[in-house]
Chains A and B, each alone.
Chain A
Amino acid sequence: MIFTIARREIITMFLSPLAWVILGVIQVVLGFMFLSLLDNYAILQPQLMRLENTPGVTDIVVAPLFQLAAIILLMIMPLITMRTFAEEKRNKTLTLLISSPLSMTEIVLGKFLGLFLFVFFLVSLLMLMPLSLYMGTALDTGKLVSIYLSMLLLLSSFAAIGLYLSSLTDNQTIAAVSTFGALLMLWIIDWVGETAGGGQNVAAYLSILRHHQSMLEGVFNFSDLAYYLILITTFLVLTIRQLDRDRLL
């Protein structure tokens, strides 16, 4: 049942030009960044040769590329998640799901799985860029896997937050703007730590940036994994509760 809903989500996404435009624009922009990072590396390479324990191409090209990708996708993900519930509420098609013999959990998980599959497709496309480097050089495969995982977890968290905010309204623009605000806050929350003394550690742990950063460097911590999983679960549970609440109003 979850797969049925997820499949419908994916089909709906690709029936509108939005998904194609988003995929295309991200590829072009990141492709350009990838090339300029490569250029940069070509200039740096002679100097790096002389050092010991030099950072490799994975550190100098791939990690910064996905750092940038995360920031761009922070702006783009709200556009992908905004329609999930808001559009169905506006078009009154949510009734179809709610009057079918499905639990709210199945509906929310179906929607989330649809978003996850889109994210999976998107990140896999992006990974083709660093993978193309295999033609000319050796890459740190362990780090690549860590980066890939980090991107999936990061974007799934974005998706869960967007899903929840989309369930709060029947207006897609409001869903997108509030999701963007929430993601940005989560990104910059550790700035607090630099000025105020107390709560520094908490703010740093809450910041999604820190977790992404350490996984980009190839450090795989279970606390990072736990962070993402808790974030995703929390927002999915909130979405389920929100749908239940809608029936009481």
Chain B
Amino acid sequence: MDSTALVAVENLSRYYQKNCAIDQLSFSLQAGEVLGFLGPNGAGKSTTMQVITGNLAPSEGRVIINGFDIIESPRQAKQHIGYLPEHPPIYREATVDEYLKYCAKLRRVEHGSIANAMEESKSHCGLNEVGHRLIANLSKGYQQRVGIAQAIIHNPAVVILDEPTVGLDPIQIREIRSLIKTLGAERSVILSTHILSEVQASCDRVLIIREGKLIYSASIETLKNYRNKHSITAAFNNPPPIEQLEAIGLIEQVESIDNNRFRLSFNSDSPAESLVQVSVEKKWGLFELVPDHASLEDLFIELTQDENAGVDSAEAEG
């Protein structure tokens, strides 16, 4: 494995009694990278994160954080990790300030710089106004932010977030995502989720696991290209005969959806421009032109159900 990697996971396995939760998982995380960890429920995402952060002992394999083995020198290794578990570990009876101060002390932030660290992580997470409030009285979204604030208070090299947007409303989700983007600019982030669009919004690279095995690993660009189907949907007020549409350059195949709508397939370059031109010339009354995407759910289901999804081919790019 790469020795410069910030996080190196080598042949990691983890059993619950006879139950195998992670099976020979290996991956690494470079500095400044945001890694999306994707998988259906029960795929072993949370277990992997718990092992990486030292909350569970691995059955086999090693985890190296910034050169320190999490089992052999846990204290040094943990110093470099900030971890937000599935349930944020917050003390409901404390105020945000009290709680963050306690976390800073636990993470051995020097006494003189505690106030600074608190300010910084609070402004990162948009908690400046609620510092004096009891955590129990905050909304779920704010509690989640407090959870993220405790994970970054000691300025760790790696931030590990386990499903950070679960149970939040769309606005809060957007805020948390932009927060993750900001974090990714300064640190390495591992983010687990079962929501594909989340990975797309925030990650540089994605790992998909299923039943504890790595089944897909690629950069986010590869994933995006994978998504684009080579077809567009066009709708006309005065629909032309199919033959006339097929006559336009670049269009390979035309399929009628209803009276006004057609699905136009093509090979590489999009025929949209010439289609619009022809439509104007012949007064077809084009009123809709939409590129088709494979739905994210389709892709996810395809990847997590297909045994032979391309780990090998994709690994080279990742």
Contacts and interface: CB of A to CB of B under 8 A. Distances in A.
A5 B131 CA distance: 21
B53 A101 contact: no
Contacts of B78: 99-102
B91 A99 contact: no
A95 interface: yes
Contacts of A103: 74-75
A91 B94 CA distance: 14
B143 to A, nearest CB: 12
Contact of A1 (B16, B76, B91, B108): B108
Contact of A93 (B54, B86, B90): B90
A98 B106 contact: no
Interface residues of B, number: 30
A156 to B, nearest CB: 24
A18 to B, nearest CB: 12
Nearest to B90: A93
B57 A248 contact: yes
Contacts of A101: 74-76, 78-79, 106-108
Contact of B91 (A5, A93, A95): A93
A69 B105 CA distance: 37
Contacts of B55: 95, 98-99, 247
A206 B302 CA distance: 65
A241 interface: no
B226 interface: no
Contacts of A96: 89, 103, 106, 150
A93 B102 CA distance: 13
Interface string A79-97: 0000000000001111111
A110 B75 CA distance: 17
Contacts of A98: 54-55
Contact of B83 (A12, A99, A248): A99
Interface string B81-98: 101011101111110001
Nearest to B91: A93
Contacts of B53: 99
Interface in A105-163: none
B309 interface: no
Nearest to A8: B102
B56 interface: yes
Contacts of A45: none
Nearest to B151: A99
Given A98-B55, A101-B76, A247-B55, A93 B106 contact: no
A249 B81 CA distance: 23
A11 B93 CA distance: 10
Nearest to B92: A91
Nearest to B82: A99
Contact of B85 (A4, A92, A97, A100): A92
Contacts of A95: 55, 83, 85, 89
Nearest to A88: B89
Nearest to A249: B16
A3 B56 CA distance: 26
A12 B91 contact: yes
Interface in B50-84: 53-57, 74-76, 78-79, 81, 83
Contact of A92 (B54, B87, B94, B103): B87
A111 to B, nearest CB: 13
Interface in B90-135: 90-94, 98, 102-103, 105-108
B26 to A, nearest CB: 21
A237 B33 CA distance: 41
B93 A15 contact: yes
A94 B54 CA distance: 12
A16 B93 contact: yes
A4 B108 CA distance: 10
Contacts of B92: 91
A11 B95 CA distance: 12
16 contacts: A1-B106, A15-B94, A95-B55, A95-B85, A96-B103, A96-B106, A99-B54, A99-B78, A99-B81, A100-B103, A100-B106, A101-B76, A101-B79, A101-B107, A247-B56, A248-B56
Interface of B: 16, 53-57, 74-76, 78-79, 81, 83, 85-87, 89-94, 98, 102-103, 105-108, 150
Interface of A: 1, 4-5, 8, 11-12, 15-16, 91-103, 247-249
Of all A-B residue pairs in the complex, the 8 with the closest CB atoms, nearest first, are A96-B89, A100-B106, A101-B78, A92-B87, A93-B89, A99-B83, A101-B79, A4-B105
Given A1-B105, A91-B89, A96-B89, 15 more contacts: A4-B106, A11-B94, A12-B93, A91-B87, A92-B85, A93-B91, A95-B85, A96-B106, A99-B53, A100-B103, A100-B106, A100-B107, A101-B108, A102-B75, A247-B54
